[in-house]
Homo-oligomer: A and B are copies of this chain.
Amino acid sequence: MAAKENLRPGGRSARVQASVHQAVRALLVDMDRVDVTIPLVAARAGVTPSTIYRRWGDLQELLADVAVERLRPDMQPVDTGSGRGDLQAWAEQYAEEMSSGIGREIIRDVLAAQDNANACQCSAFTREQMQLLSNRALARGESFPTVDAVMDQVVAPIVYRILFDDAPSAERVRGLVAEVMTKA
């Protein structure tokens, strides 16, 4: 039950959300994740704990909501002049960011919530980026794999290895990209 309503920018709800998110991010800088509690977040955000319980339900949902916001892409993928170059640059940066300590913690927080909506939002962000690379490539007259193929053959192996195995090397990431491109 993460906050899903459409918030009017600058409205009271949006201000509460921004302030609570900000408080969580600040606490996570100063303390271990296991020591963060809703009363601490509330005190830092200047709201009552019940405001947080009402909107987010519990701490895990709140942490998942904050984690998803951190996964929201804050830049356009780099334009290298070719679809293959774009995908390779994107995949290398993605693998690097996600396999960092903070990247792993964000993924873990997103998945810890009982509600699957946050996790689906993460893959929706990635799909949008892949669609953008695809549109760019097609506009240049290049071929490009389907978004589903990129998700299954590049994104999924990167994330699976980060979560369950050793983080993929840059060489392996390039191999995944090369392989999906040969089938485009």
Contacts and interface: CB of A to CB of B under 8 A. Distances in A.
Interface of A: 34, 58, 107-108, 111-112, 119-120, 122-123, 151-153, 155-157, 159-161, 163-166, 176
Given A111-B111, A112-B108, A120 B164 contact: yes
B119 A163 contact: yes
A165 B108 contact: no
Copy number in this complex? 2
Contact of A152 (B34, B111, B157, B166): B157
Contact of A159 (B108, B151, B160): B160
Given A111-B108, A111-B111, A176 B152 contact: yes
A156 B100 CA distance: 19
A160 B153 CA distance: 11
Chain A at the B interface: SS class: helix
A156 B111 CA distance: 16
Contacts of A34: 58
A118 to B, nearest CB: 10
Given A163-B119, A164-B119, A153 B153 contact: yes
Contacts of A157: 151-153, 156-157
A122 B159 contact: no
Contact of A112 (B112, B122, B176): B112
Contact of A156 (B108, B119, B122, B156): B156
A120 to B, nearest CB: 6
11 contacts: A34-B58, A107-B111, A111-B163, A120-B166, A123-B160, A123-B165, A152-B157, A152-B160, A152-B176, A156-B157, A157-B157
Closest 6 A/B residue pairs (Cβ): A156-B160, A152-B157, A123-B164, A156-B156, A156-B157, A119-B164
